[in-house]
Structure 1
């Protein structure tokens, strides 16, 4: 028909609007990478949120207390009186089996210029005895015949040889007064008579009357 436009022979174009959302191959790869990242993050968060199970602590093993070694009873110590030329005269405590030398050492040792030639330093001491070191009128400690006894059993107590224990055993004396008697004997030498007891501090007339028939010199 004259004047009419010839028919359009070009191929039909794509549907309108579809090409605007077509990401192409690069877009698809980008979307796939984002999707993989999202999946990885979701998996990580799910792994973190899983309930954790901690191993129960092992029960502590309580060791029973080892039995303590029982303390052995220490042997009873000896008490002797040391008088004369020593630095610290008086009572000393010594272990069983101690000797005269140990007693003198426990009393501070002897004073200078003290003659110990007559003293048997090796003799074992007995509980309650008097060790006289260079005291005029008294047998030397450990000398021959010195047994540490003040008197024969059952007889009067000899004031010049009696031990602290023997004096302490007298009625109404006790350890304090017994030590005073020993100290008086150490300072003044042997008792010349029983009446000299009245010179000891703490022994009055009544005490002397109680003791005079129980002691001798």
Structure 2
């Protein structure tokens, strides 16, 4: 068996020497190297591609940041029967009572029953505190989403001695400029506008005709409704 193997090896070696002699040692080496390179290239081309490193890494999830612009303060104008009227900055969700307190508190003649002190303030609103009158005036209910806006202005000492202080209604068709000027919220300019309207229209037919006078709106009409009358 050993002798047979030796003969086989000698036979292979003889064939190898033949081919080496036939092709030359350099050609054989080149052929072997070329074959190795070819096999390597084929393996590189046909091998399955590996996923990139980035694809194998888990995606990082960033927390969602929600930004809400909440005002840091509200600015309101406090006027009327308060000790220090002016513009004040208050905390968000502040209420009318906070605005009155910031303005030094109400005056002794302030009619706090006619406003909603618990009303939440809105930026750029005006909070006007009315003056208490001697007549019984129906309390006004503040709007649900807006701070109370005044419907009256403070009266001067001379105005308190006018007929309205004695529970006398002012006749819009016969009142003088002084009597009209004494009404809350009516100054000399508005009194003149009332007389001019009365002159041009001959007379007032009803109290609601005041809405046709420049400078008088629904709020001021509500303040004057129980203080004036129209003689028929």
TM-score between both structures, scaled by the size of structure 1: 0.36
Which structure has the greater CA radius of gyration? 1
Give the helix-richer structure, 1 or 2: 2
